Amino acid sequence: MAGIYIHIPFCKSKCTYCDFASYPKEIGKTEAYFACLYREIKGRAEQYKNKVYDTVYIGGGTPSIVDPKFIVGTLRQIKKCFTLRADAEITIELNPGTVDENKIKAYKSAGINRFSIGLQSGFDEELKRLNRIHTAKDFLNTCNLLKGENISADILIGLWDQKIEDVKKTIDLAILGGAKHLSVYALTCEVGTPIYTDFLNGELLSDDETGELYEGVVAYLKGKGYSRYEVSNFCLPGFESKHNLNYWKRGEYIGCGVSASSFMDGRRFTNTFKIDEYMNAVIFNKSPEISSDVIEGDDAKFEYIMLGLRTKYGVDVEKFNKEFGADFMSEYKTALNKNKPYLEIVGNVVRIKDEYLYVQNGIITEFMK
């Protein structure tokens, strides 16, 4: 399985928690950027022309802020240059404050069949503090335009005085909108983001308080029929994100655009985070990559284990042994014994017990050599 990721770095305004490559002041470079993006897509396809791709994910930034002709053009270029499966999952991220009926029609006509909406909160006052450009009503309006489509919604927990009842109301709003998939992320405050000041001032929930919220979310969503298949991701049966599952199964993917990362033929590489630097590199037929590492040996094994243990699928011991020519149970005997209370072995699969999945980092690091 292989995927394609496209990064659109433009947005209307920067959310207070955002640490991604998104640039509100660079929107005037849209046309030039997409010209370079189309060119990079062609070049990457020539590099990896013998592969078949199962998923496309258009993220950002805010992909839905640009004229839909650029999204349509991007997908046209992808289909022209890459080999996609006929039933490929094609996702676009949407901000409810930037969507209208014409955009949705254009996306669907271009073949987009999955829509990831940034809800974050169902309360307008919280959305305003986060510097989101939409309201709860905008979210429902967007969902109404997408009625019957495969919808995913993003939700943040760990905000200021947030209570489990608040999060449940946000979840209910997402479900009312028809979301079949929910990504529930614990707020991470990065240095340099506006919300980091609130973190330093102790205005946000503590890790323990956020953890309690998370456990409440897991129980509430289970009661609604949404199963957790990765630490932050929940869905109704059959609506897992195929694109993200490919990441967690250590599958290959190619990334195009500013800050886009790739994993192909055992090599991980990332493009520059600067728009001008990216465009100059592409225009002058140079690589926009700023980092490149071949992942092999113990590092490759640890990646496989780390990614697998984040999910309910765990680590398939037989597949691990076949891929690496190793003996998982023997090689990681110490880590397995040390984490025995937190792990379960079902057939050939080693996985973290449900009740410990949220604190998986401490467990997973024991497998690092």
The pLDDT tens digits of the residues spanning 57-112 come to 999 989 999 999 999 999 999 999 999 999 999 999 999 999 999 999 999 999 99
Q: Is residue 239 part of a domain?
A: yes
Q: What pLDDT, in 10s, does the model give residues 211-262? A: 999 999 999 999 999 999 999 999 999 999 999 999 999 999 999 999 999 9
- Provide the CATH number for the domain around residue 348: 1.10.10
Q: What is the mean pLDDT of residues 358-367?
A: 89
Most confident of 23-32, 74-83, 123-132: 74-83
Residue 203's pLDDT is 75
Q: How confident is the model at residue 189 (pLDDT cuts 50, 70, 90)?
A: low
- Domain holding 226, by residue range, is 2-247
Q: Copy the structure tokens of residue 171.
A: 């979840």
Write down the residue that tokens 């409810």 correspond to.
96
Q: Is residue 289 part of a domain?
A: no
Report which of residues 199 and 210 the model is more confident about: 210
Q: How many CA atoms lie within 13 A of 238 on its CB side?
A: 1
Answer yes or no: do 101 and 190 share one domain: yes
Answer yes or no: do 213 and 126 share one domain: yes
Q: Which of 247, 282, 312 is the last residue of a domain?
A: 247
Q: Is residue 293 part of a domain?
A: no
Report which of residues 40 and 61 the model is more confident about: 40
**Residue 19: pLDDT over 70:** no
Q: What is the mean pLDDT of residues 118-136?
A: 91
Q: How confident is the model at residue 50 (pLDDT cuts 50, 70, 90)?
A: confident
Dist. CA 306–CA 300, nearest whole Å: 10
Q: Which of 10-24, 54-68, 162-176 has the lowest mean pLDDT?
A: 10-24
Q: How many CA atoms lie within 13 A of 275 on its CB side?
A: 22
- pTM of this prediction? 0.94
Q: Which of 247, 279, 306 is the last residue of a domain?
A: 247
CA dihedral 212, 215, 221, 227 (to 10 degrees): 150
Q: How confident is the model at residue 15 (pLDDT cuts 50, 70, 90)?
A: low
Answer yes or no: do 223 and 302 share one domain: no
Q: How confident is the model at residue 16 (pLDDT cuts 50, 70, 90)?
A: low
Answer yes or no: do 220 and 323 share one domain: no
Backbone φ, ψ for residue 152 (5° rounding): -120, 150
Q: Is residue 227 part of a domain?
A: yes
Q: Is residue 351 part of a domain?
A: yes
**Residue 282: pLDDT over 80:** yes
Q: Is residue 275 part of a domain?
A: no
Answer yes or no: do 195 and 306 share one domain: no
Domain count, the chain: 2
Q: Which of 213, 247, 281 is the last residue of a domain?
A: 247
Q: What is the mean pLDDT of residues 26-53?
A: 94
Q: Is the previous residue joined to 61 through a cis bond, with omega within 30 degrees of 0? A: yes
Q: Is residue 268 part of a domain?
A: no
Answer yes or no: do 189 and 326 share one domain: no
Answer yes or no: do 232 and 92 share one domain: yes
Continuous segment of H or E residues that includes residue 345: strand 343-346
Answer yes or no: do 29 and 164 share one domain: yes
Answer yes or no: do 313 and 192 share one domain: no
Answer yes or no: do 208 and 348 share one domain: no
Residue 22's pLDDT is 66
- Provide the CATH number for the domain around residue 233: 3.20.20.70
Average pLDDT, the chain: 93
Answer yes or no: do 363 and 242 share one domain: no
DSSP 150-213: EEEEEEEE--TT--HHHHHHHHHHHHHTTEEEEEEEE----TTSTHHHHHHTT-SPPHHHHHHH
Q: Is residue 154 part of a domain?
A: yes
Answer yes or no: do 221 and 331 share one domain: no
